[in-house]
Structure 1
Amino acid sequence: MEQKKKSFNKGGRKPKLDPRTHRYSLNLDDVENAKFLAFYDQSGYRVKAHFIKNCIFGKSFKVLRIDKSKVDYYIQLSQLFSQFRSIGILYNQTVKELHSNFAEKKALALLYKLEQYTVELVKTNQQIIALTKQFEASYKEEGIISVEE
């Protein structure tokens, strides 16, 4: 009788093809540690080992600086944009309802009022555009590239 060798599944994790077995340790004083942590925080890495490896082997890293006021401005600008879109949709619905439910004279009077509010909205929109251009100019002065570039 022939006995066949059966391969059994050992279970567990498959071994890595290139395991990292070499470890290094270094000691820093307080000043060096403060500099290291400052660079690490600015780099945006989540793992210190990856940051150290990239510094040693010459890979560059990006420094991210987030200005809360600029982020808030961007969020508010996005909210204003969504409000403008909803106003445009409501504007179309209002005009349709005016023409279908009111007499012509009454509809024209209400449309005139709606036009006046639209003119005010356009003026506000122009002010927002001017402020945004001023904001982008200040961004470019600080060396941060705008979305258009």
Structure 2
Amino acid sequence: MQTTSKNKGGRKQKSNPKKHRHVFRLTESENQRLLTLFASSGMANKANFLVSLLLDREITTVKVDVGVLQYHTLLTKLFNQFKAVGVNYNQIVKLCNQYFSQDRAKRSISRLEEYTKDLTKLCYYIIKLSKEFEEKHLNSKGKV
């Protein structure tokens, strides 16, 4: 006996059938925006448009490191304090020159210069620590 395959009829089987389905919901404004993008794309099939929109574009993921975020926040606060110190420094020098005698103004400003040198050393130390932190934590992580 010979076995012959009978044609059952119907559609031809696709070589790569689409079996997986994903559903999502949109608000009115999001739906309108999506339809506008679809219309401007010139594509005839909305499903193909959505697949190309999702899969053909490069998606970057960002991992938030809490330690880095806290470090950045503290560094920003410190920077703002440095700016405030600079403003106060200018105001003090102006007031010393305006209201003090020349000798007293020189003494006050020289003391202020010593504090400024200490602040400069601290600033260089902060910059050094920041560079070490960047090299250790930020540059060592691979790009996604």
User: Fold-level match, TM-score > 0.5?
Assistant: yes
Unaligned 5+ segments in structure 2 are 1-31, 40-45
Q: Provide the TM-score with structure 1 as the length reference.
A: 0.58
Q: Aligned runs of 1:1-12 on 2, under 5 Å?
A: none
| 1:131 matched to 2:129 | yes
Query: How far does the alpha carbon of each residue in 1:23-57 deviate from its partner, in whole angstroms, 9 at most, with x for none?
Result: 9xxxxxxxxxxxxxxxxxxxxxxxxxx89x61xx3
| 1:65 matched to 2:63 | yes
CA RMSD of aligned residues (A): 2.9
Letter in 1 for 2:75: L
SS at match of 1:141: coil
From 102, 105, 108, give the equivalent of 1:107. 105
Q: Provide the TM-score with structure 2 as the length reference.
A: 0.60
How far the C-alpha of 1:141 sits from its partner, in A, is: 1.2
Unaligned 5+ segments in structure 1 are 1-14, 24-49, 145-149
Aligned sequence identity (%): 28
Q: Aligned runs of 1:77-88 on 2, under 5 Å?
A: 77-88=75-86
Q: Find the aligned partners of 1:108 and 1:62 in 2 and give their Cα distance.
A: 58
Q: How many residues align?
A: 102
* Cross-structure match for 2:4: none
The structure, 1 or 2, with the larger RCO (C-alpha pairs under 8 Å, 6+ apart) is 2
